[in-house]
Amino acid sequence: MAWRALALIALILPLVGTACSSGPVVLTIAGSSQGQELELTLQGVERFRKRHPDISVNVRPTPANSTERLAVYRSIFENNPGSVDILQMDVVWPALMAEYALDLNDHLRDSEIEQHFPKLIANNTVDGKLVAVPWFIDLPVLYYRRDLLKKYGFAEAPQTWAELEEMAQAIQDGERQEGDVDFWGYVWQGRPYEGLTCNALEWQLSHGGGNILDDEGKPSLNNPGTAAGLYRASSWVAKISPPDIVQFDEDDAHAIWRQGKAAFMRNWTSPYSVAKQDPFLQDKVGVVTMPSGGYSSAAALGGWQLFVSRFSSYPKQAVQLVRFLTDEREQRRRAIDGSFAPTRPALYKDSEVLSSMPFLLSIDQILAEAAVRPSTELGLRYESVSQAYWKAAHDVLNGANAELRLAEAEKEIQAILQDQE
């Protein structure tokens, strides 16, 4: 990947250089972490700068892992709040970031705000304050190797977890017999962090275990569907998935997949465009919706937004950059070049966007059906609830008794809810 590194350095240097040498206005945007995502952001920023030569922009990469990124943001706001102007915000953080953000209702026209999916605007609004502008939607998909399914006689991609297990095992056994000793059936995210909350919620929902909170807002984990989902995932560890899958995040799973060392992968949509540009994977990758556990298929709703820090010295210019990066042209480019699903309904009618992300066709439906983490209901408490949840899931992956751990997590969550009522 030397060329990628060089391309990156070539893009970063002029930006940094200009920031130091000219123009009184210097904006810093924190978020996009590495690889393709960072490259796309740098290109967007460069386009902005061509239009606004008087504004310099630094791109400050932060960890890709959402939980680690949140910790970095916290330390920024604690230690040096004026050091960033614009930040990338996870779809589950509006309540957590609200106190640091400008109210974008005061800076954007209604007609601009209305161009995004209303559900995302509602998600990003806390007590009437528009905390952030939607930038892209993340939805998980199941990646599979079309060539290997064919080689082992499977006519179609799996629709259920049981089918996935059967195929993953058969392909893994076969590939290992042919000498690929570190080939794995299925890679996903098992590290104790926000990504495990997404994976576990999908196992839970797809086995009929409901969401983390029930319709009345009470924790609802200690049930047979949730236990079945967690037991199933724990049976994959060291069997069809690497033993250290319990420390994998999205990038770890993607790294194995990119090397051609796995038959299936759960990940968000952006690895699709990476595969399309990869000489080895290019013609081999298929994408389907996540498998069902006999109940339904479930896909966690993820995604990222941009907000302006209320500590920014240049709020007007920062809003200009947010407006530019989230506009239709930029979202279109990021969809076509990077498989980042847009937050603007208009782009779901764009033939080039649709052909570059064929699985995007049913996004309206997926958005209506997506597994939504209960961040709106929980507000500031979401973080500790999610942590209690992912810790329980992680223990079960490591062999703990699911019924016991789920009962404990349910109590912990009850206490969190009562504590802060």
Binding residues among 263-282 for ligand GLC as defined by CB under 6 A: 268
| Residue 252 binds ligand GLC, judged by CB under 6 A | no
Give residues 360-389 in contact with ligand GLC (rule: CB under 6 A): none
Stretch that binds ligand GLC, among 87-95, 103-111, 326-334, 399-407 (CB under 6 A): 87-95
**Shortest Cβ distance from residue 90 to ligand GLC (Å)?**
5
Determine if 31 is a binding residue for ligand GLC (CB under 6 A).
no
Q: Which amino acid is at 72?
A: V
**CB 303 to ligand GLC: min, Å:** 5
Enumerate residues 6+ apart whose C-beta is below 8 A from 186. Answer: 164, 165, 168, 236, 240, 241, 262, 263, 264, 265, 266
Residue 92 binds ligand GLC (CB under 6 A): yes
Cβ proximity to ligand GLC: between 236 and 304 the closer is 304
- Under rule CB under 6 A, which residues in 100-139 are in contact with ligand GLC? 138
Residues forming beta bridges with residue 266, ordered by sequence position: 142
In sequence order, the 6+-apart residues with CB closer than 8 A to the CB of 9 are: none
Write out the two tokens for 231. Answer: 């037991």
- Whose CA is closest to 318, among 22, 55, 126, 33? 55
For ligand GLC, which residue of 27, 30, 59, 91 counts as binding (CB under 6 A)? 91
Q: Is 194 in the site for ligand GLC (CB under 6 A)?
A: yes
Tokens of 251: 């990038």
Residues 161-190 that bind ligand GLC (CB under 6 A): none
CB 360 within 8 A of CB 348: yes
Residue range at the interface with ligand GLC (CB under 6 A); choices 23-31, 160-168, 192-200, 349-357: 192-200
Angle, vertex CA 82, rays to CA 78 and CA 87, nearest 5 = 85
Stretch that binds ligand GLC, among 84-92, 107-115, 122-130, 397-405 (CB under 6 A): 84-92
Taking phi first (over 0 means left), then psi (-120 to 50 degrees means alpha), and beta for anything else, what does residue 220 get?
beta
Least distance to ligand GLC from the beta carbon of 34, Å? 13
Residue among 89 and 413 whose Cβ is closer to ligand GLC: 89
Strands 86-90 vs 302-308: parallel, antiparallel or unpaired: antiparallel
Q: What tokens does 307 get?
A: 């907000």
Q: Least separation, in Å, of the C-beta of 347 and ligand GLC? A: 18
Binding mask 277-316 for ligand GLC (x = CB under 6 A): -------------------------xxx------------
CB of 52 to ligand GLC, least distance (A): 28
27 or 200, CB closer to ligand GLC?
Answer: 200
Q: Which residues pair with 303 in a beta bridge?
A: 137
Candidates 97, 101, 198, 256; binder of ligand GLC (CB under 6 A) is 198
Report if residue 227 touches ligand GLC, rule: CB under 6 A.
no
CB of 169 to ligand GLC, least distance (A): 27
**Given candidates 192, 195, 219, 225, which one binds ligand GLC under the rule CB under 6 A?**
195
Look at strands 302-308 and 129-130 and give their pairing. unpaired
Nearer to ligand GLC, 175 or 250 (CB): 250
For ligand GLC, give the closer residue by CB, 191 or 323. 191
For 173, which DSSP code?
H
CA distances to 92, 94, 116, 242 from 121, rounded to whole Å, are 13, 11, 7, 39
85 binds ligand GLC (CB under 6 A): no
Of the pair 144, 268, the CB lying nearest ligand GLC is at 268
Residue number closest to ligand GLC, CB atom: 302
Q: Does 66 bind ligand GLC (CB under 6 A)?
A: yes
SS3 85: coil
What 234-237 contacts at long range (C-beta under 8 Å, 24+ apart), as own/partner pairs, is 234/396, 234/397, 234/398, 234/399, 234/402, 236/165, 236/185, 236/186, 236/188, 237/190, 237/397, 237/398
Q: Among 32, 37, 41, 90, which residue sits at the site for ligand GLC (rule: CB under 6 A)?
A: 90
| Coil/strand/helix, residue 227 | helix
Residue among 33 and 160 whose Cβ is closer to ligand GLC: 33
Q: Please, which residues bridge with residue 59 across strands?
A: 29
Query: Which residues is 213 bridged to in the sheet?
Result: 219
Can you point out the beta strands (E) in 85-150?
86-90, 125-126, 129-130, 133-138, 141-145
Q: Which residues of this protein are in contact with ligand GLC, per CB under 6 A?
A: 66, 90-92, 138, 194-195, 198, 250, 268, 302-304
